[in-house]
Amino acid sequence: MTQDPQNEQTPEPQTEEPAAGQGSAEQGVDRVAELEAEVAKLKNEVLYAKAETENVRRRLEQQAEDRGKYAVSNIAKDVLSVADNLRRALDSVPPAAREGNEIANTLTVGVELTERELLNTFERYGIRLINAHGTRFDPNLHQAMMEMEDATQPEGTVVLVMQPGYTIHDRLLRPALVGVSKGGPKVPPGEQVDTKA
């Protein structure tokens, strides 16, 4: 039997249609990925804001602590001259004058007590005297006013304190005005000066 060419039908290519729900599944996966990315971004922003808030809190606490520690700095600088004058008064009285004169001795003892009380008050507020004599010159604590020839002392040793210096907690309140030795043996940087020789 021959088939009629007109009746013969050529099969049409079939296109695959997505199964019901496959397109919406792909859209759902894309939407989930998009939402996860947005959640991650928001988490980062929250963590950043939390860290920034913590930094601000710590900075404010530090500033409040510093205000408490260093609030007396201005008045302390003014009162240091009182301590200087008390020390000058004591240094001006020779020991022989104290022995022969009861009034001079009593007055000197009173000035010593006043100086001691003032230094104790300084200590309570974190103000400490810089012990400069015999130490290596430190530009962070000392202000060199002169160099003094002294071959017996290592070079750079504080051999004269013209005005004592003070610190308040960990900060310099006033540098010590000092005379520094020169002409002696050189000490390598970082080594301590041995003044016992």
**Each residue of 36-61: pLDDT tens digit?**
899 999 999 999 999 999 999 999 88
CA distances for 179 relative to 2, 149, 162, angstroms: 130, 10, 8
Domain assignment of residue 159, yes or no: yes
Average pLDDT over residues 60-65: 86
Of 6, 154, 89, residue with least CA distance to 97: 89
> Which CATH number belongs to the domain containing residue 176 in this structure?
2.30.22.10
- pTM more than 0.75: no
Q: How confident is the model at residue 151 (pLDDT cuts 50, 70, 90)?
A: confident
Q: Is residue 164 part of a domain?
A: yes
Confidence (pLDDT) at 160: 94
Q: Domain range for residue 134?
A: 128-190
Residue 76: both structure tokens together = 């302390």
Q: How many CA atoms lie within 13 A of 177 on its CB side?
A: 4
| Position 156 in a domain | yes
Report yes or no: 137 and 153 within 8 Å, Cβ to Cβ: no
8 Å CB contact between 168 and 156: no
Report the DSSP beta bridge partners of residue 130.
165
Characterize 123-162 residue by residue with b for buried, 16 or more Cβ atoms within 10 angstroms of its Cβ, and e for exposed. Answer: eebbbeebebeebbbeeebbeeeeeeebeebbbbbbbebe
**Cβ neighbours, 10 Å, residue 121:** 13
Rg, the chain, Cα only: 42
* pLDDT higher than threshold 90 for residue 159: yes
Q: How confident is the model at residue 172 (pLDDT cuts 50, 70, 90)?
A: very high
Exposure string (b/e) for 61-89, b if CB count within 10 Å is 16 or more? eeeeeeeeebebeeebeeebeebeebbee
Total tally of structural domains belonging to the chain? 1
Residue 175, domain member (yes or no): yes
